[in-house]
Amino acid sequence: MTAEKNRDPITGPVSKVFFHYSIPVTMGMLCTTSATLIDGLFVGNFVGAEALAAINFVSPVMLLIYGLVFMLDTGASVIAGKYIGEGKLQLASESYSAALIGIVLLILLVVVPSLVFMPELLFVLGIQGHPLITTLASEYLSTFLLFVPFICMGPAFMMLLQTDNHPRLASAAMVLTAASNVALNWLLVDKLDMGMTGAAVATGLAALPMWLALLVYIRSPKRSLTFTRPQQIWPYCKKASINGVSELGSEASYSVTTVIFNWAIMATIGAQGVTAFTIINYVLLLGLMAAFGISDSIRPVLSKNLGARQPERIYQFAKLSVTSALAIGLLIILSLFLFPRAIITLFVAADEHTLVQLTQDFIGFLWPAFLFLGINVVATAYQTAMHRPLESFIISFVRTLLFPVVLVLSLPLWFGDKGIFLALPIAEVLCFLIAIYYFRVNRPTKIVQAINLSA
C-alpha cells in the first residue's frame, strides 16, 4: 500500500512519481523509435546509402500519420487525466474510447489516398531525377502504409496504459516491440534479402507486443478506464483535437520542414547531402524521442495535479522535467563530440569517406540544437497539460515550422550551404525564448487561481 501511495501522481513524493513514470516511458519511447533507427541501420548496411535517403524522403508521410494519432491520443490523455484527478472515471473512459474510434477513421482517410496516388505523392516529396531512390522509396512506403493501422494503434494503446497508471506494462511492451523489430529486420533484410519491403514488414509485425499489452491491461483488476460506447463521439474528438493540436502541429511541421530541407540540400549538395542529413536526423530523433518520453509521461501527471488544484506540485514536476531534458541533450552532445565517426558508420560503410566527412561537418553546425530541443518539447507538453492549447500550438509551430523554414530559406543567402544547417539550432534558441515567456504568463499558481475563480 505504501508503494502505491509513493507512486500516486497527486499525493506521492514528486521525484519518486516523476522517475516512476518518466523512466519506463522514456525507455519505451526510445525502444519504439528504434524501429526507425533499426530500419536505417539495416537498409544502410544491407541495401545501400541510397536507401537511407529514400527513407528520409518518405518520412514526412509517416510523420503526418503519427501526428494525427498523437493529436487525438494526447488530447484524450489530458482530458482523461483531468477527469481521473476529479474522480469522474466514466467520463474519462468515454473520452478515451471516442478518441480511439477517431484515430481509426483518421488513419484510413490518410492511408487510402496515399496508396492510390503514390507516384504523385513521391513527386511532391521531392524525389525527382533519381530512379533508384524513387524505386526504393515507393517500395518502402507502399508496404509501410499497409501496416499503418496495426502500427499506429499500438502507441495509442500505450498512452492509454500510461494515463491509467500502467507505465511499466506500456514500457515493457515497447521494449519487446524494439527487440522484435531487430529480430525481424535481421531475418527479413539480412538473411532473406527482402530489402526495403522487409524493413517495412518488420516494423509492421513488431507492433504485436503492444496489442498483447492491451489484452493484459483489459484483464487487470487495477485499471480505472474501460472501453465503452461513448454517447457522443464528435464532441470528445473535437475537444481532444483542440488539446492535442500541438502534437499534430509538431509532426505536420516536421513533415513540411523535412521536405523543404530535402529540396534545399538536393539543390545545393545533392543526394549524398540528403543521406548525410538522414544520419543526423536519426541522432536528432533520439533526442526528440527522449524528450517526448519525458513529456508524454509527465503530461497526465500534470493534468491530474491540475484537476486536484496543486500548483506547487505542478511547478516541481515541470522543473524536474526540464532538468532531465537538458541532461539528455548534454549527453548526446558529448557523444557526438567524442564518437562522431563511430556513430556515423553505424549507418554507412566506413569506406564511404566523402559521406562520413560530410556528415561530420554537418554535426559541427547542428550540435547546439540539442541544448534546447528537449526543453522546448517539455514546454509544449506543459502548456497542453495546463489546457492552454493555443500557447502549446504556438511553441510547437514556431519550433518545427516557422523558424526553421524562414531560416533555411534566408540564412544560405549570407552563409552559403552552412546556412541550411545553422537554421535548426538558431530556431531552437528562438523558440526557447518564447517558451520562457509563455511559462511566465501561465505559471501554475495563476492557472489554478483562474480555475478556482471560475468554479
Query: How does residue 79 score in pLDDT terms, banded at 50, 70 and 90?
Result: confident
Q: Which residue carries 536507401 as its cell?
A: 51
pLDDT in tens, 259-318: 888 888 888 888 888 888 888 888 888 888 888 888 888 888 888 888 878 888 989 999
Q: Say which residue, 83 or 370, is predicted with more confidence.
A: 370
Examine the pLDDT at 431 and tell me if it is beyond 90: yes
Stretch among 83-92, 243-252, 376-385, 446-455 having the lowest mean pLDDT: 243-252
Query: How does residue 138 score in pLDDT terms, banded at 50, 70 and 90?
Result: very high
Examine the pLDDT at 182 and tell me if it is beyond 80: yes
Q: Say which residue, 11 or 143, is predicted with more confidence.
A: 143
3-state SS, one letter per residue, for 117-173: CHHHHHHHCCCCCCHHHHHHHHHHHHHHHHHHHHHHHHHHHHHHHHHCCCHHHHHHH
Q: Mean pLDDT over all residues of the chain? A: 85
Q: What is the DSSP string of 418-447?
A: HHHHHHHHHHHHHHHHHHHHHHHHT-HHHH
Question: What percentage of the chain carries pLDDT values higher than 90?
Answer: 24
Examine the pLDDT at 167 and tell me if it is beyond 60: yes
Distance CA 61, CA 140 (A): 12
- The three-class DSSP label of residue 269 is coil
Question: What percentage of the chain carries pLDDT values higher than 70?
Answer: 96
Boundaries of every domain in the chain:
10-454
- Mean pLDDT throughout 43-63? 87
pLDDT in tens, 362-386: 898 889 999 999 999 999 999 988 8
Q: What are phi and psi of 243, to 5 degrees?
A: -70, -30
- Mean pLDDT throughout 39-67? 86
Burial class (CB in 10 A: 0-12, 13-18, 19+), 222: exposed
Query: How does residue 435 score in pLDDT terms, banded at 50, 70 and 90?
Result: very high
- Mean pLDDT throughout 100-104? 86
Distance CA 436, CA 221 (A): 42
**Is 257 in contact with 401 (CB distance < 8 Å)?**
yes
